[in-house]
Amino acid sequence: MSLAMMYEKVVTITAKHGIHTRPAALLVKKAKSFECSIIVECDGKQASAKSLFKLQTLGLYYGVSVRVIAEGEHADQAVEEVSELLITLS
């Protein structure tokens, strides 16, 4: 039995208009490509990166810091790829 590793990374939203519906949908699609659990945390609130509705409740505006947390298979890769999307989406 292997122990699941948890990975996390903090990034800042750089998209001028924040992460609105279209880029959030791309983020969800990327998150769903991983088997592991992926959580996005912003200002103390958490949501699954695999839920478009929940992500939209976080207030992912320009300049806010976001923590991406993943646990399970390929969690490290998931954190890197989801974090990269949060930084580059606009």
Entry pTM: 0.92
DSSP secondary structure code for residue 5 in this structure: P
What would the two tokens of residue 77 be? Answer: 């890769």
Give the neighbor-by-neighbor strand order of the sheet with 65-71.
6-12, 65-71, 37-42, 45-48
- SS in 3 state form for 37-49? EEEEEECCEEEEC
pLDDT at site 1 = 43
Q: For the chain, what is the mean pLDDT?
A: 93
User: What are the chain's domains?
Assistant: 6-88 (3.30.1340.10)
Q: Please determine, for residue 69, whether its predicted confidence score (pLDDT) is greater than 80.
A: yes
CA 13: distance to chain centroid? Answer: 11
List pLDDT tens digits, range 34-68.
999 999 999 999 999 999 999 999 999 999 999 99
Q: Which of 20, 54, 67, 74 is catalytic?
A: 20
Residue 8 burial (CB < 10 Å; 0-12/13-18/19+)?
A: middle
20: annotated active-site residue: yes
Q: Which residue has the tokens 């505006």?
A: 61
